[in-house]
Amino acid sequence: MRYAHRAESNYEYSNSTKESSDECYAAESMIPGVNTHPMTQIEPETSNLKKMSIITTTGLTKVYNADQVPVHALRGVDLTIDKGEFTSIVGPSGSGKTTLLNIIGGLDEPTEGKALIDNTDLTTLSDRKLINFRLHHIGFVFQAYNLIPVLTALENVSFIMQMQGRSSRECREKSIDLLKEVGLEDKINKRPSELSGGQQQRVAVARALASKPAFVLADEPTANLDSVSTAELLDMMLELNEREEMTFVFSTHDQRVIDRARRVVTLVDGKIDTDEKR
């Protein structure tokens, strides 16, 4: 129920993603008996697809050209993540986890390949539209510096909804609900500096959920946390995943976190090495 509105908010982007849906269409057309002509029968098929995969990357490569020597951070990553998955991206340092998440999150552009996120090919979006896309479709949790230090937990969570242009009453009520959900009902008026690292990350998760995103992206969300806070944060994320069917994609180095993921994608040297669902 909570995320039911998402269908409408996707809608405004679906026009700009016509080209990108050709990709899906190409795949579909392989199925016998399906009309291969675009725009006629394709709609029901794609909307079916829409429901399933939230993230689809094809042949994603990223080459950094700093310091004259090109660095191949990603060397062709094909990854599909469906709605409701709880995916951990793992791999040694420098294997390209952050790079991959940044591209999926619309924070960086691939050198080659495509990232189809919530049915939108991000490479087709202008800078302005991309910011707006992130605001409405993706929830972010970073390793640190997630929160605005001068705002309370409540204000931090409300802020993103205010940016989305929702009424202040709705922002407030929804923020309180979310902070309750992450177990911080008694901390709503505390500033980040008055919260522990684990509590700050939970506020960040609440903030990420507040925008009613298609999925939550988290680059090493537990890297700065002790084991107790890590476990608590993970419990909470898993619960949201089960109860709300919220999709989480996160990177981590922490074996205890990896152990609890439903799907573990291992990157080695910019390529997917193993992809294990459990």
Partner 1 sequence: MFVNILKLGWKNVWRNPARSGVVIIAVLLGTWAGIFSAGFFNGMLQDYLHKQIELSIGHMQVEHPQFGDLYNPKYSVSNSNEIVSYLEAQPYTREISAKSIATGLAQSPHSSFGVTINGIDVEADTSLAIEQYITEGEMIDTTSRNPILIGIELAERLDLELRSRMVLSFQDVTGEITGGAFRVAGIFDSFIDQFDESTVFVLQSDLNRLLGNMDAIHNIRVDMDDLATAEMHAEEIEQAFPGVLVKTWRDIAPDLRYTFDMMDLTLYIVMIIIIIGLVFSIINTMLMAVLERTRELGMLRAIGMNKSRTFSMVMIETVFLTMVGAPGGLLLSWLCITYFGNVGIDLSAFAQGLNQYGIGTVVYPSLTWSYYLNIMLMIALAALLSALYPAWRTLKLKPVQAIRKFN
Ligand X SMILES: Nc1ncnc2c1ncn2[C@@H]1O[C@H](COP(=O)(O)OP(=O)(O)OP(=O)(O)O)[C@@H](O)[C@H]1O
Q: Which residues bind partner 1 (CB under 8 A)?
A: 98, 102, 105, 107-108, 128, 131-132, 134-136, 140, 142-146, 148-151, 159-160, 162-165, 207-208, 211, 219
Q: Which span sits near ligand X by CB under 6 A: 29-37, 87-95, 127-135, 241-249?
A: 87-95
Q: Which residues pair with 249 in a beta bridge?
A: 87, 217
* Residue among 258, 244, 249 nearest 210 (CA): 244
Query: Which strands sit side by side in the sheet containing 53-64, from one edge to the other?
Result: 71-82, 53-64, 112-117, 120-121
Q: Does 70 bind ligand X (CB under 6 A)?
A: no
Q: Which does 96 bind (CB under 5 to 8 A by kind): ligand X, Mg ion, partner 1, none?
A: ligand X
Single-letter amino acid code for the residue at 59: G
Which two tokens mark 127?
Answer: 């800078």
Q: Which of 14, 63, 71, 190 binds ligand X (CB under 6 A)?
A: 71
Q: In the numeric block, which tokens belong to residue 42? A: 């394709």
* Least distance between partner 1 and beta carbon 171 (Å): 9
| Residue 98 is a binding residue for Mg ion (CB under 5 A) | yes
Contact between 266 and ligand X (CB under 6 A)?
Answer: no
* Minimum distance, C-beta of residue 220 to partner 1, in the bound complex (Å): 8
| Inter-residue contact 74 to 270 (CB < 8 Å) | yes
**Residue 215: closest CA among 92, 149, 133:** 133
Q: Which two tokens stand for residue 140?
A: 């972010």
Q: Which is nearer to ligand X, 55 or 161 (CB)?
A: 55
Binding residues for Mg ion, per CB under 5 A?
Answer: 97-98
